[in-house]
C-alpha cells in the first residue's frame, strides 16, 4: 500500500524556469568547459616540460604517463558531463521558446477574439440601420487595422450591389455593381471571402484589376443572414507594411456573420417601426373618420327626421309652399348622405384593386366645360374662369372616372374657399401629357401638407364646412394614377390652392 506524504507547493515553486536563467546556465557551462580544457592543456604542457627537464633523472613522486592519462580522462569526463547538461538545457530552452511562442499566439488570439466579441456585441446592440452600418465599418477597421472600407448591400432584386456606407472612400450611392462583376460582385455570387495582395495572377480576378497595377492588401467577405444574401464587406490597407493573412480573412469572415445578422435585425426593426407608425396613423385616422362620419351623418339625419316628423304631425296645418320647402330639404340632405356613402364605396373599391377603367378617346375640353356646367347648381353664382386651348391632343381614358375627378376637385374648391370668390379651371399641353388645373382663392395648403392632403380621411380645417369624409382627393389621386397620370397640389397664382392632375397622351395603338 502506497502512503501519500503531505506536500505543499507554492506558485513560485511550481513555476517553470526562466528562459534567461537557462541561457545563463548554458553560458556558464560553456565557460567552465573552456576553463577546464585550458587547464587540461596547460597541465599536459607542464608535464611535458617537466619530463624534458628531468630527462636523465628518475622522479619517484612523478609519473608523467599516469598524469597525462589522468588529465585527458578528466577532460573527457567533464566534456561528457557538459554535453549531457547542455542537451538537457537545450531541450528546456526549446520548450520555453515554444511555450513563449504559443503563449504569445494565444494571447494575440485572445485579444482578437475579445475585440471580435466586443465588436459583435456593439453591432448587435444597435437597431438603427444607419448606425449599424457605421458601427460595422468602425469595428472592422479597428479589428483588422484597415485604412479604408466599404459596406455594399443588395438591391431589392438581389442582382445588384450598392455602397451603403464607407470609410476613407468617396461614397458613390449611384454606383451599381451587378452580381458577378468586380471583386465584390464575385464574392457576392460565389459566397467566398478573398484576399487581394500584390500582382494578381489568378484568372478569376484578372478581369477586375487593370494589368500592371498591383492590388493593395485588401479583403472581401460576403454578408449572409439566415441563408439570405445581405451584401459584401470590404476592407483594405493603403499605408504601412501591413499585409493581410489567411488568419485575418477568417477573422473577417466570423465578424461578417455577426454583421449580417445585425443588419438583418436592424432592417426588421425598421420595418416593424414603420409598420407600427403606419398602424398608429391608420388608427388615428380611423378614430378621426368615425368622429367625422358620425358628426356629418348626424346633421342631415337630424334635419330629415325633424322635417319628416313635422310633416307627419302638422302637415295639414302647413301651406303647400312650406311643404314643398320641407320636402326639398329632406331630399337635399338625403342626397348629401348619398354622396358621402358613394365616396366611401368608391374609396373602398379603389383600395381593393379599383374598378376596371375603360380606354376611349376623350374630348377633354368638352368634358371639362360640361362638368363645370353641371356644377353650376352649387357654385352659388361664383365666377369660373376657363382657360382651354383651341386644340388639344387626344387623350384616352374613362369618361365617368375623369368626370368624378373634376367633380371632386370643383367640390373641394367650393368648400375650402370664401363664398363669392372665383374659381379657375385651366388645361395645358406639355410633352407626353395634358394637365388639368383647378384653383381657388382660399387660404391655400401649407407646403408641408401638400403631399398628405391626398391621404385617406384627410380634411381641411376650414371652419363651418362639413359634409366631407376626407376621401375626395384620395379618390382623385387613385383615379389619376390608374389612368397612368399624376396629381399634385401647389399654390395658385395670386394665392389659394391649385390641384393639378395629368392624363398621358397616347396613340390609338398605345391606348
> Domain residue spans in the chain?
11-119, 129-273, 290-351, 360-504
Most trustworthy range by pLDDT among 6-15, 63-72, 159-168, 313-322:
159-168
Per residue in 125-158, pLDDT (tens digit) is 666 778 878 888 888 888 788 888 888 999 888 8
> What are the distances in angstroms from CA 448 to CA 31, 278, 284, 432, 474?
92, 18, 19, 29, 17
Which cell numbers hold the place of 432? Answer: 407626353
What's the whole-number mean pLDDT along residues 74-95? Answer: 78
On whether the CB atoms of residues 395 and 406 are closer than 8 A, the answer is no
What's the whole-number mean pLDDT along residues 421-444? Answer: 90
pLDDT at 86 over 80: no
Query: How long a stretch of residues is the chain?
Result: 511
CATH fold of 290-351 reads Helix Hairpins (1.10.287)
**Among the ranges given (102-116, 185-199, 285-299), the one the predictor scored with the smallest mean pLDDT:** 102-116
SS3 content of the chain, % helix, strand, coil (to 5): 55, 15, 30
Contacts 24+ apart (CB under 8 A), 356-360: 357/397, 357/398, 357/401, 357/479, 357/482, 357/483, 358/397, 358/398, 358/399, 359/396, 359/397, 359/398, 359/511, 360/396, 360/397, 360/398, 360/399
Place of cell 438581389: 158
pLDDT at 287 over 70: yes
Q: 360-504 maps to which CATH number?
A: 3.30.565.10
CA 362 to chain CA centroid, Å, is 46
The pLDDT mean for the chain works out to 76
Per residue in 462-504, pLDDT (tens digit) is 444 444 556 778 888 888 888 889 999 999 888 889 999 999 8
Half-sphere exposure of 401 (CA within 13 A, CB side): 28
pLDDT of 377 reads 66
- Do 290-351 and 360-504 agree at the fold level? no
pLDDT at 193 over 80: yes
pLDDT at 217 over 90: no
Q: What percent of the chain has pLDDT over 90?
A: 5
**Among the ranges given (116-125, 186-195, 205-214), the one the predictor scored with the smallest mean pLDDT:** 205-214
pLDDT of 110 reads 57
On whether the CB atoms of residues 357 and 482 are closer than 8 A, the answer is yes
pLDDT of 375 reads 76
pLDDT of 436 reads 93
Integer Cα distance of 165 and 151 in angstroms: 5
Which cell numbers hold the place of 85? Answer: 547538461
The CATH superfamily of 129-273 is: GAF domain (3.30.450.40)
Q: Which of 208, 178, 174 is nearest to 194 (CA)?
A: 208
Contacts 24+ apart (CB under 8 A), 176-184: 177/152, 181/208, 182/208, 183/208, 183/209, 183/220, 183/234, 184/152, 184/220, 184/232, 184/234
Pick the more confident residue, 71 or 262. Answer: 262
Interacting residues of 354 by C-beta distance below 8 A, sequence separation 6+: 478, 482
pLDDT of 500 reads 93
Per residue in 41-60, pLDDT (tens digit) is 777 677 666 666 654 454 44
Integer Cα distance of 125 and 131 in angstroms: 10
Which phi and psi (to 5°) does residue 423 adopt? -120, 160
Amino acid at each position: 500500500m502506497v502512503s501519500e506524504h503531505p506536500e505543499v507547493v507554492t506558485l513560485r515553486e511550481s513555476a517553470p524556469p526562466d528562459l534567461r536563467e537557462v541561457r545563463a546556465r548554458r553560458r556558464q557551462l560553456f565557460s567552465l568547459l573552456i576553463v577546464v580544457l585550458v587547464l587540461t592543456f596547460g597541465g599536459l604542457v607542464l608535464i611535458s616540460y617537466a619530463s624534458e627537464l628531468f630527462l636523465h633523472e628518475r622522479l619517484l613522486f612523478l609519473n608523467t604517463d599516469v598524469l597525462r592519462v589522468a588529465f585527458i580522462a578528466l577532460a573527457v569526463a567533464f566534456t561528457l558531463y557538459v554535453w549531457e547538461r547542455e542537451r538537457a538545457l537545450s531541450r528546456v530552452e526549446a520548450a520555453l521558446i515554444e511555450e513563449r511562442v504559443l503563449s504569445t499566439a494565444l494571447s494575440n488570439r485572445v485579444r482578437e477574439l475579445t475585440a471580435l466579441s466586443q465588436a459583435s456585441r456593439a453591432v448587435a446592440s444597435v437597431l438603427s440601420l444607419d448606425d449599424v452600418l457605421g458601427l460595422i465599418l468602425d469595428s472592422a477597421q479597428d479589428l483588422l487595422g484597415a485604412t479604408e472600407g466599404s459596406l455594399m448591400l443588395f438591391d431589392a432584386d438581389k442582382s445588384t450591389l450598392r455602397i451603403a456606407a464607407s470609410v476613407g472612400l468617396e461614397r458613390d450611392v449611384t454606383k451599381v455593381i451587378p452580381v458577378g462583376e468586380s471583386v465584390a460582385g464575385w464574392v457576392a455570387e460565389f459566397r467566398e471571402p478573398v484576399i487581394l495582395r500584390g500582382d494578381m495572377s489568378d484568372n478569376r480576378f484578372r478581369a477586375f484589376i487593370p494589368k500592371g497595377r498591383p492590388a493593395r492588401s485588401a479583403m472581401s467577405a460576403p454578408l449572409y443572414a439566415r441563408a439570405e444574401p445581405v451584401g459584401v464587406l470590404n476592407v483594405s490597407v493603403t499605408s504601412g507594411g501591413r499585409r493581410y493573412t489567411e488568419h485575418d480573412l477568417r477573422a473577417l469572415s466570423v465578424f461578417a456573420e455577426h454583421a449580417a445578422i445585425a443588419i438583418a435585425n436592424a432592417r426588421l426593426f425598421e420595418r416593424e417601426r414603420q409598420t407600427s407608425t403606419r398602424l398608429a396613423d391608420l388608427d388615428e385616422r380611423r378614430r378621426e373618420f368615425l368622429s367625422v362620419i358620425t358628426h356629418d351623418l348626424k346633421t342631415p339625419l337630424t334635419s330629415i327626421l325633424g322635417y319628416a316628423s313635422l310633416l307627419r304631425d302638422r302637415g295639414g296645418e302647413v301651406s303647400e309652399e312650406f311643404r314643398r320647402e320641407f320636402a326639398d330639404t329632406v331630399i337635399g340632405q338625403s342626397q348629401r348622405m348619398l354622396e358621402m356613402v358613394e365616396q366611401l364605396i368608391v374609396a373602398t373599391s379603389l383600395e381593393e384593386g379599383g374598378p376596371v377603367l375603360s380606354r376611349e378617346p376623350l374630348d377633354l375640353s368638352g368634358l371639362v366645360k360640361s362638368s363645370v356646367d353641371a356644377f353650376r347648381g352649387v357654385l352659388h353664382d361664383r365666377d369660373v374662369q376657363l382657360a382651354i386651348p383651341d386644340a388639344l391632343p387626344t387623350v384616352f381614358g374613362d369618361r365617368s372616372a375623369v368626370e368624378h375627378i373634376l367633380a371632386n376637385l370643383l367640390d373641394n374648391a367650393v368648400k375650402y374657399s370664401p363664398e363669392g370668390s372665383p374659381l379657375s379651371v385651366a388645361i395645358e399641353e406639355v410633352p407626353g401629357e395634358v394637365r388639368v388645373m383647378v384653383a381657388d382663392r382660399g387660404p391655400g395648403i401649407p407646403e408641408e401638407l401638400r403631399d398628405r392632403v391626398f391621404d385617406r380621411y384627410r380634411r381641411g380645417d376650414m371652419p363651418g364646412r362639413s359634409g366631407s369624409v376626407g376621401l375626395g382627393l384620395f379618390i382623385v389621386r387613385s383615379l389619376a394614377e390608374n389612368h397612368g397620370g399624376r396629381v399634385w397640389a401647389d399654390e395658385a397664382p395670386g394665392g389659394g390652392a391649385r390641384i393639378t392632375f395629368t392624363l398621358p397622351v397616347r396613340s390609338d395603338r398605345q391606348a
